[in-house]
């Protein structure tokens, strides 16, 4: 069979292009890996290029391995010289050979995330920086972002001068780099940063690799950051045979430093670049692709392309709107069970995709009740997440202080100055006197060698005793809220201000939703019953692994995957897109969310169901939501809608969540949240003032412009740079 028989005309054109820069805009499911592997084979077989002169870069070891295997299958005798690897692996190999030229030893160590965290923790202690005010993750994030921009400590210091908070990061960054150098170590960001430094300071080394890699291919180019772009640009600058493959519509990792401008401006950096669009999709039905095309065309920052397929048209995309999240999860579970038992489908045919990990909880519980096997990808079981286990450990200790595991888990969480050595002494004392750990803590003064830590242990006991007295008349939700407040657990996460901390807060909010729903079913507080119910759900860790399972995952985790049937759930403004992206008034935030929606839609091969709820619990309170704007961007004729609720105002009287649910169920009425812009007479802050935003953190006001309906405020934030926003939505707090 001819090499090109399996390729469409656009794929053939991309494979046959030889010299000069080439941008392949590969839409979802358009066969980009096939193009890359065929291109490598053609360069070797037909153009006489030595495998030694070809470099193919991917983002994951898995992708690199798959590409290498495909090439070797097609060219068993002549492919071993092709260098197929990730950015970090490529740079590590280069640095092992030449890093001594920039002052490091070739036997350097590569620090992982835990090593980095430990080092920063030691540095903060040395610099007397309070890690309760400035979390280690704040510093590691600031350092990583600086390295992504190719900023060393001095360049970083110049950019953030005048900013008190980031001046702390400058101090830590300087010490951090000094320690790395002393330890002859690099972190992951350094692998690329130092390779760029090597190439820029040693032209002869760069020239040798330019000669070595005369043909360069880069996969998932839309996910590259500034440092990766610079690395590729340097390597390709001599022969300019650079082929990049990517899809700007699937650029969803801005929070990790990905710069979409790298792909959008490729023709600016390489004016003679040839651009080929791969628009034929081999994965989905035309109905699914039509919906995806309609959503993504609303983005301004993109290169135009329209997906199409030779596959059958397929059924229309389903849209289901429910009263609440419980009904939504129940419908998904019943639909999957029905298709498996009635239509002969496999559980593995189905995927449930959501915006945040916290959304998995209801689906996990409904699947367990329906005996549907499932697996969470890119995350852990809801009740196995650290923050959930921490809160539950507090509840277990309150309900039953004889649970030594629970007591040990929370003894110094959040940190209260009780070290591991003191905890071990208390445990040894308990064992020696045949008593539980909590009982031993009550008599902390008698524990040998406990010293001043005894006061902290007694304070811990007093706190638990106070919780136990409240548990008699608090609901479970109220008790959890009190634990979070008194211990400072929630505040510590809020002060951390990282994406990971936000995700943990969302998970705690979902636990509060669970507690609120449980409380409504009880006549009085019942902590023991709550813990028993949760234990049954959490027991799924002991289930036997089943390869035929429904997949639960976030939209970010789903990129690159495909399934016969997809449920894209939680399609509500405020959830997807998130309220913070809406309130930021930054079009780039909404466009990133829309690309994420596009990724979710294009994961489906045959069936796609979009779902939303008219009301959803947030922190144990009922919120009314409007349908996601992404749903509204799909023309009505492309959707098959069922069980939609008419638009009517919210009842004026105050109701409990149960009363709201019952009334809405009877009348099929639910109401979107209304946002009204109210321009204030003036602002309490002005240019030069320091302010705080709920999402972006602290920043400095650069300008205030009075408009007809509101004030437009420009703020340069410490962590995320310059943002423009309306004052009514931003709700900035003057510091």
Tell me which residues are annotated as active site: 32-33, 219-220, 250, 603
Q: What is the DSSP string of 502-527?
A: HHHHHHHHHHHHHHHHHHHT-SS--H
CA atoms within 13 A on the CB side of 501: 16
- Cα(336)–Cα(367) distance, rounded to whole angstroms? 10
Q: How many helices (H) and strands (E) does the chain have?
A: 31, 22
The rounded distance, in Å, linking the Cα atoms of 536 and 613 is 27
157: which DSSP letter? H
Residue showing tokens 């943002």:
723
Q: Tokens 């809020």 — which residue?
A: 494
Rounded Cα gap, residues 366 and 322, in angstroms: 15
SS3 88: helix
- How many Cα atoms are found within 13 Å in the side-chain-facing hemisphere of 185? 16
| Antiparallel, parallel or unpaired: β 690-693 and 697-706 | antiparallel
Return the H-helix or E-strand segment holding 541. none
Token pair belonging to 15: 């494979």
* Whether 301 contacts 588, CB under 8 Å: yes
Could you give the 3-state DSSP secondary structure of residue 469?
A: helix
Pure H helices in 602-717 = 629-632, 657-667
Rounded CA-CA distance 462/455 in Å is 11
- CB of 606 within 8 A of CB of 569? no
Sequence-ordered list of residues with C-beta below 8 angstroms from that of 678, at least 6 positions apart, any chain: 728
CA distance 524 to 461: 26
Tell me if residue 173 falls in helix, strand or coil: helix
- Give the torsion through C-alpha atoms of 586, 589, 591, 597, to 10 deg: -150
Which pairs with CB-CB distance under 8 Å and at least 24 residues apart come from 265-268?
A: 266/21, 266/23, 266/221, 267/23
| Residue 349 per-residue DSSP state | G
DSSP structural state of residue 452: T
Closest CA to 352 of 597, 599, 576, 567: 567
């Amino acid at each position: 069979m001819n090499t090109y028989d399996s390729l469409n005309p656009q794929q053939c054109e991309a494979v046959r292009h030889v010299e000069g820069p080439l941008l392949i805009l590969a839409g979802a499911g358009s066969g980009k890996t096939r193009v890359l592997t065929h291109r490598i084979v053609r360069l070797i077989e037909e153009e006489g290029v030595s495998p030694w002169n070809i470099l193919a870069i991917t983002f994951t070891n898995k992708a690199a391995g798959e590409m290498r295997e495909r090439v070797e299958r097609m060219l068993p005798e002549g492919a071993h010289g092709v260098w197929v690897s990730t950015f970090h692996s490529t740079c590590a190999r280069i640095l092992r050979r030449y890093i001594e030229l920039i002052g490091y030893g070739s036997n350097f160590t590569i620090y992982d995330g835990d090593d980095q965290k430990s080092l920063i923790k030691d540095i903060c202690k040395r610099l007397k920086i309070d890690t309760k005010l400035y979390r280690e993750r704040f510093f590691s994030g600031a350092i990583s972002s600086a390295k992504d921009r190719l900023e060393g400590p001095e360049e970083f210091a110049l950019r953030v001068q005048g900013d008190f908070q980031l001046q702390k990061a400058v101090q830590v960054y300087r010490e951090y780099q000094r320690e790395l150098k002393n330890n002859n170590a690099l972190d992951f960001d350094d692998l690329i940063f130092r390779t760029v430094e090597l190439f820029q300071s040693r032209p002869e080394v760069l020239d040798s690799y330019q000669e070595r890699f005369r043909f360069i291919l880069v996969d998932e180019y839309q996910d590259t950051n500034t440092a990766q772009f610079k690395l590729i640009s340097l390597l390709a600058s001599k022969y300019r045979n650079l082929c990049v493959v990517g899809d700007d519509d699937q650029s969803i990792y801005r929070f990790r430093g990905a710069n979409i401008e790298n792909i959008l401006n490729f023709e600016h950096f390489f004016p003679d670049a040839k651009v080929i669009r791969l628009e034929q999709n081999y994965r989905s039905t035309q109905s699914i692709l039509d919906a995806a095309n309609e959503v993504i065309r609303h983005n301004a920052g993109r290169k135009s392309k329209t997906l199409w397929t030779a596959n059958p048209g397929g059924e229309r995309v389903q849209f289901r709107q429910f009263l609440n999240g419980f009904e939504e999860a129940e419908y998904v579970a019943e639909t999957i069970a029905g298709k498996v038992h009635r239509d002969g489908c496999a559980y593995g045919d189905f995927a449930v995709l959501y915006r945040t990990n916290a959304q998995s909880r209801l689906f996990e519980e409904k699947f367990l009740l329906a005996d549907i096997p499932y697996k969470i990808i890119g995350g852990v079981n809801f009740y196995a997440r650290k923050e959930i286990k921490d809160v539950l450990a507090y509840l277990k200790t309150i309900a039953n202080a004889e649970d030594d595991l629970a007591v040990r888990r929370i003894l110094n969480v959040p940190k209260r100055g009780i070290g591991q050595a003191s905890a071990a002494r208390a445990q040894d004392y308990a064992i020696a006197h045949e008593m539980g750990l909590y009982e031993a803590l009550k008599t902390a003064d008698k524990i040998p060698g406990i010293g001043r830590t005894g006061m902290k242990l007694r304070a811990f006991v007093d706190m638990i005793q106070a919780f136990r007295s409240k548990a008699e008349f608090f609901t479970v939700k109220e008790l959890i809220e009190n634990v979070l407040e008194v211990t400072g657990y929630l505040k510590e996460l809020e002060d951390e201000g990282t994406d990971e901390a936000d995700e943990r807060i969302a998970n705690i909010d979902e636990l509060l939703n669970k507690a609120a729903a449980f409380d409504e079913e009880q006549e009085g507080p019942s902590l023991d019953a709550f813990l028993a119910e949760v234990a049954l759900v959490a027991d799924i860790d002991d289930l036997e692994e089943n390869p035929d399972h429904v997949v639960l995952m976030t939209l970010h985790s789903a990129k690159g995957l495909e399934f016969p049937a997809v449920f894209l759930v939680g399609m509500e403004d405020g959830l997807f897109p998130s309220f913070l992206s809406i309130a930021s008034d930054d079009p780039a935030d909404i466009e990133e969310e829309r690309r994420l929606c596009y990724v979710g839609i294009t994961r489906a091969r045959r069936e796609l169901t979009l779902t939303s709820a008219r009301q959803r619990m947030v922190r144990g309170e009922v919120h009314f939501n409007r349908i996601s704007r992404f749903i509204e961007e799909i023309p009505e004729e492309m959707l098959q809608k069922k069980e939609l609720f008419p638009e009517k105002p919210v009842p004026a009287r105050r109701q409990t969540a149960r009363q709201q649910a019952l009334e809405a169920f009877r009348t099929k009425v639910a109401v979107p949240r209304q946002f009204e812009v109210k321009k204030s007479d003036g602002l309490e802050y002005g240019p030069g003032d320091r302010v705080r935003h709920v999402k972006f953190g602290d920043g400095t006001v650069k300008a205030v412009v009075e408009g007809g309906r509101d004030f437009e405020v420009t703020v340069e934030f410490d962590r995320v740079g310059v943002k423009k926003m309306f004052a009514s939505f931003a709700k900035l707090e003057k510091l």
